Every structure is written in C-alpha cells, then in structure tokens.
Amino acid sequence: MEMNTRLQVEHPVTEMVTGLDLVEWQLRVASGEKLPLTQDQVQVSGHSIEARIYAENPAGGFLPGSGPLKYVREPTITDGSVRVETGVGQGDQVSIYYDPMIAKLVVKGKDRQDALRRMETCLSEYKIAGLSTNIEFLSSCVKHPEFQHGGVTTKFIPKNQAVLLPEDTGLDFSQDEGKVVGAALVAANAFYETNQYGTAEDSDATWFRIDGEGLTRSFDVSLPGAGKTRIGLQATYKNSPARRGQISVQVRKAGEPKTVVSATANLVARNPLDGETIFNLQVDQLRLSGVTCWWGVNEKTGEKTLNMFTSGRGFPRLQYQINFLNPDFSRADASGGATGSSVQAPMPGKVTKVMVKPGDTVEQGQPLALMEAMKMEHVLKSPRKGKVSEVLAQENDLVADSQELIKIA
C-alpha cells in the first residue's frame, strides 16, 4: 500500500467538478485550520478529464524525450472550462533529469461526451515543436469509440495499436491525405522562402519572386516513419495577380510525371520572428483552414524541418514533421542506422557503463553499454555480429539524442 501526504497529479479534475481549491485547503489545514466543508456538503457538477502532455515518443515504445521547446501554442479556449497547468514554455528545456511532463491539460463539460469533445478540440489546438510529444496519441485515444464509451482496460492500447499508433506510409497521391500533405508542405516552403510577404529568413538568391509563368523547384523530403528515405518532389509555384498572399501550387512525385496535384494556398498570417506561417489550402474540393507551420533548422545537419499543424479536419494527423534534406545527404548510413554499423543513443542521457573496447568481437543483441535517462536504465545492444572498431563515448559522458556511441565493423 502507498500513502502520499500530498495532492495527486490529477487533483485539478476534482477542483473542476467541485469548484474548490484543494491547494488552499491543504495550506489552511497545515496552518491548523479545520476543513471548511464536510464530505456531505461537497457539491459535484459536470464531468472533467485530464490529459498529461508528455515529451515522449509513443511510436517508439513511449520512450521519454528531452530537449528545447522551440515552438509552443496552447489551446485558446478561455471560458473557464479549460486549464493548462505547466511550468515550462516556449524557449525552455525539458531536462533529462526530471519527469518529461510538459503540462496537464484539464477540461470540464456538462457530461463525459461534452468533456471528450472539449478535450479533442484542445488537443487539436495544442502545438509543440522541437521534440516529440504524445499529443497525437492522446487525440487518437479520445476519439476512439471504445474510449468514448468508457470501456477502457489495461489492454486498450495493445488491442487498438493499429489505430492509436498507425504506421506512416509516405505520400500516396492517389489518396486525399497524400494530395493534401504534399500540396501543403510545398506551399509552406514557398511562403517560407520567398520574401514577397515579408523578410525571408533563409532564401536562395533565385527564390525572391515567383511571378510570370511561375517557378519550378525540386527538392527531397523525408516524412515521419520513413527514417531518412528521400522522397523527391517537383513543385511549380505561381503568384495570383489578383490577390496578394495567394499562390497556386502544382506538385508531383519524382518518377510519377502523370500524377499532378493542384492546389491554391492563401496566406493568413506570418510571423518571421517566430518562424510561424498560417495559411488556408484548397486541394480539388477539399478546403482546409488554419494550417499552421513552424520552421526549424537542425544545427548538426543544416536540414530544414517543417512542423505542420492541422485542425484534424481533412487531415488524419494533427502534426506532420517533414525534413527538407540537403543535396549532399547521401552518406552510407543515412538510413538512420539501417546498415547496422553503429550503436546510437536512443535519447539524451548519461552513459553509465561501457562493456566493450575496440577490437572486441560481439554478437547480435549483445549488450554493449548502459545509459541512464529519465529515471530509467537503457541497455544498448549490438545490431549485428561484428567487431568493435571504435568506442566514441566513455562512462559518465552526457550524450545527445542519436549520438553515435560505438562503431561496429
């Protein structure tokens, strides 16, 4: 049995349905006062739900994460039915030394279904870039019929894993999602790179205007779940002569010249200092509003990363992270370790033990090192049989996410 002489993390749920301030009660009792109400006097109304917003990777076994919160937008509902309790904000770091919870999102509705609708809306408005979060997973849970009906057990996640944690399959232009995502990301790239609507942060010398017959541009991208697989796209942009802030887009996948997606994008707002762009998009008969984008640059590789947030209407996902790869991104190990030539840190943390040295012969699955991160110990194993060619980390080293630690020849 466990007994904690403190308020639990979920105490805001009780406060939302009772209208009481339990923290104030705790302080008053600690000062020697009596409880202001008896249990029979406590009135309960409505239904409340709390979701913990975590820096973690649900698709990667819910491994905790850490790093900078480069872009944060909280839900905009301000009618008293929503609480966001957090100790961090944009520009702060999620540390490797503490629990990676970013915030507690608490909603109240007149009943469970109303509360679930509010939670779904709030999760669609919660935007975070810079590290992985569980927001998408939480949204999938809230929308699942089994969860909505209250029939949830400890087997809920493994039973519904295909729905809650779907695999990413790239861009299929024969499907609405592929058309919309492809058009949206190249439209976002146009708004980002051109200085037609403001000062460009990162412009090529030839990419300042897209007048006349339009500008055709080719680039490579990788999407979530595809590792470093390159997807070649060719896009043509053209300004609207009648409406400032409107561009037309045609995009095709490399090797599929007959498959062309046409779209129109209208700029809604742009904040160069924050790297934020908001636009509306129409693809065929699909109209999508409030697409929000945030751009970042990987300090190690120089790649541009587009975090594209949606309302969930017209898009299966709330967030897409797309890497615009450098032209020279052609290293033999660019597949993220698929060649089995090295062992990398699965997350930021501390190396606590190194079990091998250069020249040692190792078997596939053999433990090579131990790491400590987020109050957990992680065993790093050899991806294949071979010989240790180089050990790049020592005990007590602090290492970054995906940092190469041991090379296998």
3-state secondary structure the chain: CCCCCCCCCCHHHHHHHHCCCHHHHHHHHHCCCCCCCCHHHCCCCCEEEEEEEECEEHHHCCEECCEECCEEECCCCCCCCEEEEECCCCCCEECCCCCCEEEEEEEEECCHHHHHHHHHHHHHHCEEECCCCCHHHHHHHHHCHHHHCCCCCCCHHHHCHHHHCCCCCCCCCCCHHHHHHHHHHHHHHHHHHCCCCCCCCCCCCCCCCCCCCCEEEEEEEECCCCCCCCEEEEEEEEECCCCCCEEEEEEEECCCCCCCEEEEEEEEEEECCCCEEEEEEEECCEEEEEEEEEEEECCCCCCEEEEEECCCCCCCCCEEEEEECCCCCCCCCCCCCCCCCEEECCCCEEEEEECCCCCCEECCCCEEEEEEECCEEEEEECCCCEEEEEECCCCCCEECCCCEEEEEC
Q: Tell me the C-alpha distance between 192 and 271, whole Å.
A: 10
Q: Which of 6, 112, 117, 252 is catalytic?
A: 6
Q: Is 313 an annotated catalytic residue?
A: no
- The answer to whether 39 and 27 have CB atoms below 8 angstroms apart is no
- The answer to whether 51 and 135 have CB atoms below 8 angstroms apart is no
Q: Is the dihedral of CA 30, 83, 148, 176 positive or negative?
A: negative
**Among residues 313, 306, 272, 273, which one has the least CA distance to residue 292?**
306
Which residues does the annotation mark as catalytic?
Answer: 6
